[in-house]
Amino acid sequence: MKYRLPVLILLVSGTVLGSCASRANRVAGDPLEPMNRVLFDFNTAMDKTILIPVAKTYQTITPKPARNGIRNFLGNLGSPVILANDLLQGEWKRAGDTIGRFAINTTVGVGGLFDVAKRNGLERHNEDFGQTMAVAGIGAGPYLVLPLLGPSSLRDTFGRFPDHYFAPLTYTQFNGKKTYLTTSRVVDLVDKRARVLKLVKKLRQTAFDEYNSVRDLYWQTRKDDIANGHTQIESLPEFDISSTE
Amino acid sequence: MKIKSIFAASVLTMTALLSSPVLASEQAVSFVQDKVAQMLSILSDSSLNEAQKEDKFQQQLLQTADVNVIARFVLGKYAAKANAQELEKFSYAFQLYALSVYQSELSNFGSEVFEVKNSEERRPGDSVVLTTISGGSMDGKSEEIKWRVLEIKGTPRVVDVEISGVWLSQHQRAEITGIITKNGGDVSAASKVLCARSSQCHYNG
């Protein structure tokens, strides 16, 4: 599986190094930049005051093998969402991989705690309804920063709803409440944040404008996700080499 | 006889046309293989002190990537609007910035294993080479790295690298044009910001 942590982290990141963009300075694909920057700032504040301390504590008190087990378990629970989107995209081979991974990891992998399938050549991949819509030819729409959830686009925001209904935990209840779903989402967020503590720290230190940097990382990695990691070489930008001749 | 010659010439021409992209792509592959191996060998050379290592590594990096072409690319639409002096100052600041960033980022590498998986040609003289890196500091993982190689003045040169789905030159273009846009289209603003990130850079703007 390709390492998607740089983007996952950015779910909760954001520091506004510059002032809100003026109308003339707005970037194509981000017509809502002034509002997005405010939300980005809010997410950063939440990250620094709540999520980072929680993630650091989680990392300290939970041994690495246990954290790996939690990640594997939550990843395995997400398999039906991936499978549904594999099928909707007509990705039969990948759908087969997802079924194989789920079957192996749920049984031999003790309920998904161990990623036995990966050791047998079945790598995990990600799919979601936003990607499915992209494959169907639906454009991304404007860039959005969602409160607490981070970078997205109009298309990918809508994509969250079907994925919610593809997730088995949506249909479980504990004392009449969706405790399992909520707990799994919170643990998943903390685990993902813990895995990218150093990376985000570095991003915040090196980015010239973190909002700008995160937005580009989001667009680029989404494009790569939609293409399942295969570079569409015809869409690569041109480099001007005339100045060297 | 004449028809035979024309036929032979046509076959040869077709063969040359069909085979040249393959050769160009193979050239890009061997270029990436050689340059990465040389850089890794510098980084893992224990006979060199840190200053020597830095110096040799930077020389190698400049032979691998075309920093002037990348500098022009990261300026985006502002490249066409900048005058020669602004472009020169930006290229200077960008080169020092890029060298310091890559030096710092790559200094943890050395004992990793690079492997070329395949290559794809966009058009003659423009290829993408797919490699994997594993071992060493990779903590048991394997990561794909893609190299965009252009033929510039008859020599292969790297102009972009993709890691985890992110093309670095494209990312730097988003960052640099963001700075320039924020400063009303002033390219020298980006030069100053880049220069401030490198201890070797002395900007008089």
Q: Which domains does chain B have, with CATH numbers?
A: 23-196 (3.10.450.710)
Which of the residues B68, B175, B177, B186 would you substitute to probe the A interface, choosing the one with the greatest number of A C-beta atoms within 10 Å?
B175
Whether residue A243 lies inside any domain: the answer is no
- Taking 3-state DSSP, the helix, strand and coil percentages for chain A, each rounded to the nearest 5, stand at 65, 5, 30
The residue in chain B having the minimum alpha-carbon distance to the alpha carbon of residue A3 is B164
Read off the pLDDT of residues A222-238 as tens digits, 9 standing for 90 and up: 999 999 988 888 889 99
Do the chains contact at A209 and B178, CB–CB below 8 Å? Answer: yes
CA A236 – CA B150 distance, rounded (Å): 12
Q: Which domain holds residue A221?
A: 5-227
Q: Does B73 touch chain A (CB under 8 A)?
A: yes
Nearest Cα residue to B145 out of B159, B135, B133: B133
* Residue A241 in domain: no
Q: Which of A212, A213, A226, A228 to mutate to test the interface with B (most CBs of B within 10 A)?
A: A212
Question: Distance from B110 to chain A by nearest Cα, in Å?
Answer: 21
**CB-count burial class (<10 Å; 0-12, 13-18, 19+) for A73:** buried
CB B75 within 8 A of CB B181: no
Tally of domains within chain A: 1
The pLDDT of residue A1 is above 60: no
Sequence-ordered strand ranges (E) for chain B: 113-123, 126-134, 142-152, 155-163, 166-167
Inter-chain Cβ pairs, chain A and chain B, closer than 8 A = 95
Angstrom CA distances, A208 to A138, A144, B57, B72, B94, stand at 32, 20, 25, 18, 13
Contacts with A224 from chain B: Cβ below 8 Å: 165-166
Cβ-count burial B189-202 (b if 16+ within 10 Å, e if not): bbbbbbbeebeebe
pLDDT digits (tens, 9 = 90+) for A192-216: 999 999 989 989 988 999 999 999 9
Q: Judge: B182–A240 Cβ closer than 8 Å, yes or no.
A: no
pLDDT of residue A187: 94
Stretch B91-106: mean pLDDT, rounded?
84
| CA separation for the pair B85, B98 (Å, rounded) | 20
B interface test, pick of A37, A71, A220 with most B CB neighbours within 10 Å:
A220
Q: Cα separation of A126 and A117, whole Å? A: 15
Q: What is residue B22's predicted lDDT score, i.e. its pLDDT?
A: 53
Please list, in sequence order, all residues whose beta carbon lies within 8 angstroms of the beta carbon of residue A41, skipping any fewer than 6 positions away. A14, A15, A16
| pLDDT, position A6 | 41
Q: Specify if A24 maps to a domain.
A: yes
Q: pLDDT tens-digit profile of A124-169?
A: 999 999 999 999 999 999 999 999 999 999 999 999 999 999 998 8
| Set of chain A residues whose Cβ sits within 8 Å of the Cβ of B141 | 3
pLDDT tens readout for residues A32-65? 999 999 999 999 999 999 999 999 999 999 999 9
Facing residue for A220 by CB, picked from B68, B128, B167: B167
Query: What is the average pLDDT across B96-115?
Result: 79
Going by pLDDT thresholds of 50, 70 and 90, the confidence category of residue A91 is very high
Give CA B94 to chain center in angstroms: 13
Cα three-residue angle A207-A209-A215, rounded to 5 degrees: 95
CA–CA dist A122, A77 (Å, integer):
16
Residue A45 dihedral angles phi and psi, to the nearest 5°:
-60, -40
Q: How far apart are CA B22 and CA B19, in angstroms?
A: 5
Angstrom distance (rounded) from CA A30 to CA A39? 14
Nearest one of B44, B90, B39, B65 to B155, comparing CA atoms: B65
Which residues face B142 on adjacent strands?
A: B134
Between CA A8 and CA A149 the distance in angstroms is 10
Most confident of A129-138, A173-182, B82-91: A129-138
Q: Is residue A87 one of the residues assigned to a domain?
A: yes
How confident is the model over B23-35, as pLDDT tens digits? 557 889 999 999 8
Give the model's pLDDT for residue B44: 82
Position A36 in a domain: yes
- Residues in A closer than 8 angstroms to B174, CB to CB, are 212-213, 215-216
Answer yes or no: is pLDDT of B146 > 80.
yes
Residue A238 lies in a domain: no
Q: Rounded to an integer, what is the distance from CA A117 to the centroid of its chain?
A: 22
Looking at chain B, the whole-number percentage of residues with pLDDT higher than 70 is 86
In single-letter form, the type of residue at position A148 comes to L
User: Cβ(A220)–Cβ(B170) under 8 Å?
Assistant: yes
- Residue pLDDT, tens place only, B44-81: 888 888 888 888 888 988 899 999 999 999 999 999 98
Whether the pLDDT of residue B107 is over 60: the answer is yes
pLDDT of B14 strictly over 60: no
Cα distance between residue A226 and residue B140, in whole Å? 26
Tell me which chain A residues have a C-beta less than 8 angstroms from the C-beta of B153.
244-245
Position A39 in a domain? yes
Span B103-118, average pLDDT: 79
Residues 126-185 of B with CB under 8 A from A: 128, 141, 143-144, 146, 148, 150, 152-153, 159-160, 162, 164-167, 170-171, 174-176, 178-179, 181-182
Residue linked to tokens 């997410």:
A43
Beta bridge partners of A153: A143
Mean pLDDT of chain B: 84
- The minimal CB distance from B72 to the residues A220, A224, A240 is found for A240
Closest among A81, A78, A225, A209 to A153, alpha carbons compared: A225
Q: Cβ-count burial of A5 within 10 angstroms (0-12 exposed, 13-18 middle, 19+ buried)?
A: middle
Q: Does residue A4 have a pLDDT over 50?
A: no
Q: Is residue A88 part of a domain?
A: yes
How far is residue A190's CA from residue A171's CA, in Å, rounded to a whole number? 23
